[in-house]
Structure formats: C-alpha cells, structure tokens
Structure 1
C-alpha cells in the first residue's frame, strides 16, 4: 500500500503574503480616510483638532506607498498613490510662492500679529520686532491690562501712537496699534467671548483700510466645536464693494480647516501661504509644551492689496510666534 501526504493548508509563503496584504491596508486606509475628510471639509468633533496636523500625515503618507510597492500589493499601492496625491496637492503649495500675489508696486505696509499668552509675552521683544521691522500696524491677542502697561513702558507708544484697545484679564483681550490715526475704532465680541479690536487707518496718500485683530474660539474640546465653527463663520468677509480689509491674528485654525478656507475664499490671501511660508509653525512647542508645531496664526489680506513677503518670529514667554507681513498698497 502506498501512503500519500497532502500539502499543508497554508504554506509559510502564503501566510506572509496574507500578512503583508493586511499590513498594507492597515497602513493605507487611515491616510486615505484622512485625505477624504480633508478634501471634503467634513471635519467634526475630535477630527477638528487632529486635522491641524495634516502636513505631518502628508509626509507620512509616502511610507505606506513605499511598503505597498515593495510588497507588490498593487491595489493598496494604488490607494496609497491617490492618498499621497490628495494630501500633497493640499499641503505642498504652501511651501511655494504664488505666481499671483496681487499688486507688487506701491507703498509698503508692514503689519504684525502676536498672541501674548495671557499677557505674559515679552513686551520688550514685541517692541523690538516692531522697531526693527518697520511695523506700522500691530495686532495683539490675549491682551491684558498688565500687557498694556508693559508695552507702553517698552516704548510702543513712540512707534505706534494710535490704538484701539480692549485689555482684559485672562485670554479675552485684544489690541490694535497703528502708526497712523485710527478712525471708527471699536471692539467686537465674538461667540467665544474673545474681543476683537478693529479700526480704520489711512496711510498718507493711500486709500483707507479696515484692520481687525482676529481671535476665534479654539476647538479645545468636542463640545465647543460648533462655537469654534460659528466664530470663524462670523469673521468679517472681504467685501469687494467696501474698503479693503486686513484681518490678522490667532485664528485657532490651519489651512486644513474648511471654515478658515471659506473665509479666505471670500476675497483674502493668506500672506504666509502666498509667499511660500505657509508651512512654518506658529503655535505648539514654543513655551515648552511637547506639541508638534502647527500654523494657526495668519495675516489675511484683501486681494485688492498685494503681498510681497511674510516672516515668522519667536516671541519670548509666549506659546505663539509672531507673523510680520509686507503688504503692498497700490496707489489710490
């Protein structure tokens, strides 16, 4: 009698193939879902906070693609390729200057925004940045009575003698300082109870501009996401039939959040994005917290004005970095 042995049900080679397939999909699908949410603007709940880190996910999305190609898992590689393309087209343009940055001839106006972290940021550092960069308009958030005093003692009044101020204890306060007289000054209180100082300035020989220090509520918890979204939706839109507007401050949102993109699409340019500096972090580890940098501070400029440069600067004793933008005012 002849005995025969049957082949093993699953060979080691087949097991490895199954393992690679499962691993490939486990790595690919989360990134694909992330890309779909980002492109569709469907962030909600906890996803709002997570989406701020989209540039890091975009960089990571190269890894699942390489692994899927090495493992010859072609369907997974195809999805990984689509994921990488979607995230790259969303993120990479921020690293390159736009071809259209508006008018590039006219008066140069340097504007700056700085979140003062409950008023504790170095006033001397802020005044130094104003002086050394010829800043004509300064917007501050988390502006307290103590911060107002510290800025005055550091000499800000000699550089920017005009102001629209609403100092408050805590994080609610807002301030706007200007080299030029401010007309129609005021303060708007948004749904998150943050104050937003505003006013109209008119540089010599130029048309009038509306300027506002923006500070929507942060999406710090799931139950405030609706209020965060409402604050962004309530920010003043660019009005092509009205005065040009500059809206600058701590928006508690990145360019990966749809409410901020919708605001920009009303007729603004993001100064850092337009000049190729849109991936530079402005909030995160700057006061010692172990948080990857994200870009939530912005200078939004009416498209009728030009943007020629933008730079990010450290400010001692603040968790935010300051942004200074060079704006071009075309001849009136």
Structure 2
C-alpha cells in the first residue's frame, strides 16, 4: 500500500491558501458596505466614504473571483456586498419622477471660487450663455466682487445679497429678480464659513428662499465635528411652508449620513433626481490626483421639479460649477 501524504498535505495547504485569499478579497467591500449602510461616518471614515461609488464599481470583482474559484460562502458575501453597494449608488444615475408643476423655469448656478481664484470672465460668460437667473458663490472675496462687476455681472444679475471676505469664508447670492429678507448665516467651524441668503421673487411663482451653502470641510480628523455641526445647522426644508433651495459646496456626498438626514427634511438633490448624481464636482481640477467626488449640490424643495442638471468647467478653482434647471410651482 502506498500512502501519498505529502501530496495530500500540499493540496490541503493550497486550498486553505486559496480560501484565505478569497476571503481577503471579499472582506474589505463587505466592511465598507456595512459602514455605509449603518451611517458610520466618523473620523477618517468621513473622507473614505466619499469614494463609495468607486468601491461599488469594484464590488463585482471579488464576486467574479469567488465564483471562478468555486468558493460558495465568499461568493454569497460578495454578492450581498455588491447588491448593497450598487443599490445605494446606481439610482443616482437614473431619473426619478418629478412633481407636475406649471410655474416658471429658473436656472440656478452654484460655484465655489477657491478663495476668489476662479476665472471671473468665464463665470460671467457662463451666466450669460446659460441664461442663469440665480447665482450662488462660495469662497467669495472682495476682489472677486470687483472683477465680476467690472465684467458686467451687475447688469446680468442686478439683485444681490453679498458677503465678500478675504480668504475662504465669503459667500454671495446674485439674482435676476428682486430679493428680500436678506441675511448671512455664520458657521462656528474653524474656517468660519458664511452663507448668504435671500428670498427671491420669481414672477409667476411663490417666493423662494435661496441660500448659498458652505459647511466646513472634513479635510482632517479634528475638523469632522465642525463638519457635522455645520451640516446639522443647515436650514431644513419646510414642506408645509415657504419654498427653499440650498445650493453650494456641501463638502459631503450622498454617502454621508448628515447630508442624507438633511434631505429627509423635505429636500431633493437635483442631480440625483435627473440622473447626474454620479458626476464629480471636486477632485483633480486643480491638479491633485484625487478621483472626482460629488460634493457640490443643489437641494430643492420636493414641490420643485428638477428638469436638468449640468456640471460645467470653471478655470482657477478645484470645483466644477453645477447648473440646475428648475421648474417652480404656480402660486
């Protein structure tokens, strides 16, 4: 009788190694999905979760590997992971039903000017070419104000509520239509970002409160509490009251629970509603090798129909402007 123990031992060792490698390939995505679904965005996880769409796109690979290697339980976990991640991300690329409204159409543009470094001529050209009715800006400086007026923005959008400041805290709102009840919200975060707001009187529609949103950026762990507090301080929607639009640099994606909580008050993300929710608005536009993420948003009252969203290009800033075409309800 011949007993081939070395071959059996080697085969068993290979199987264990393949099993371990398979689990190692599947586990990271499963952990990521669990954190995303549980809304565990704390500390360094805040930055990481912004890249959830990329993890969702990658999630099919571990499943293919597990199936190819005929590893049942890793394949089951990989399938659940892929379904979970794709399930929360894919709807952003699909249109969703909009309210049937008969009021006027408004074109709103939001742009982060990177401490006033964005090209003012291009911004004014965007306003002119796209027939923008309302413009909200962040990181708005006195220099940017002077340049924009010199280039004719004061003629295109004569009504305004502006808070230009040196550096990054400044904010502004320009409108084609008269504004009332203007003001400035001051955040308590380390950067002290401000948010200009006003009620815009669009002919043929109820008054709309528009605000230029700019909560703190979670660029480091010690800034996460400021980020969370600033998002919590955003004005909630008022489904039974006046119409509201929040537009700007939220420093958050739809994979961050504080932004989702704000949406649950009665807002709709216009890009998400029009199938443009996966188009990046911040990332490599100033040269940094960072995959684009979607942190600039136009949040509208659920009674407002989001008809179209386009992400544009503005030299001189690390953000891309977001243009939303919105239809308001009739009075």
Query: TM-score range with shorter-chain normalisation?
Result: over 0.9
Does the 8 A contact of 2:141 with 2:167 survive in 1?
yes
Q: Secondary structure at the match of 2:6?
A: coil
Alignment counterpart, residue 165 of structure 1, candidates 162, 167, 187: 162
- Once the two structures are superposed, the pairs formed by residues 190-209 of structure 1 within 5 Å of their partners are 190-192=187-189, 193-209=192-208
1:257 matched residue in structure 2: 256
What are the superposed Cα offsets for residues 219-255 of structure 1, whole Å, 9 maximum, x if unpaired? 0111121111111011000012321000000000000
Alignment counterpart, residue 73 of structure 1, candidates 54, 71, 74: 71
Does the 8 A contact of 2:103 with 2:204 survive in 1?
no
Cα distance in 1 for partners of 2:4, 2:278 equals 60
2:217 matched residue in structure 1: 218
Task: State the Cα distance separating 1:6 from its structure 2 match.
Answer: 5.8
Q: Secondary structure at the match of 1:135?
A: coil
- Once the two structures are superposed, the pairs formed by residues 263-274 of structure 1 within 5 Å of their partners are 263-274=262-273
Does the 8 A contact of 2:280 with 2:294 survive in 1?
yes
Task: State the Cα distance separating 1:11 from its structure 2 match.
Answer: 3.5
Q: Secondary structure at the match of 1:299?
A: strand
1:315 matched residue in structure 2: 314
- Once the two structures are superposed, the pairs formed by residues 109-258 of structure 1 within 5 Å of their partners are 109-192=106-189, 193-258=192-257
TM-score by length of 2: 0.97
Cα distance in 2 for partners of 1:306, 1:4 equals 78
Cα distance in 2 for partners of 1:226, 1:87 equals 26
1:292 matched residue in structure 2: 291
1:40 matched residue in structure 2: 38
Cα distance in 1 for partners of 2:53, 2:8 equals 41
TM-score by length of 1: 0.97
Task: State the Cα distance separating 1:5 from its structure 2 match.
Answer: 5.6
Note the aligned Cα RMSD (angstroms): 1.3
Task: State the Cα distance separating 1:269 from its structure 2 match.
Answer: 0.6
Q: From the superposition, tell whether residues 215 and 30 of structure 1 become closer, same or farther in structure 2 (CA, over 3 Å).
A: same
2:276 matched residue in structure 1: 277
What are the superposed Cα offsets for residues 46-91 of structure 1, whole Å, 9 maximum, x if unpaired? 0000000000000111111100111111100000000000001100
Cα distance in 2 for partners of 1:179, 1:242 equals 24
1:55 matched residue in structure 2: 53
Task: State the Cα distance separating 1:9 from its structure 2 match.
Answer: 7.4
Unpaired runs of 5+ residues, structure 2, are: none
Task: State the Cα distance separating 1:328 from its structure 2 match.
Answer: 0.5
What are the superposed Cα offsets for residues 157-182 of structure 1, whole Å, 9 maximum, x if unpaired? 11100110111111100000000111
Cα distance in 1 for partners of 2:163, 2:18 equals 59
Cα distance in 2 for partners of 1:152, 1:85 equals 50
Does the 8 A contact of 2:101 with 2:330 survive in 1?
no
Q: Secondary structure at the match of 2:41?
A: coil
Task: State the Cα distance separating 1:8 from its structure 2 match.
Answer: 1.8
Q: Secondary structure at the match of 1:300?
A: strand
Task: State the Cα distance separating 1:104 from its structure 2 match.
Answer: 4.6
Task: State the Cα distance separating 1:273 from its structure 2 match.
Answer: 0.4
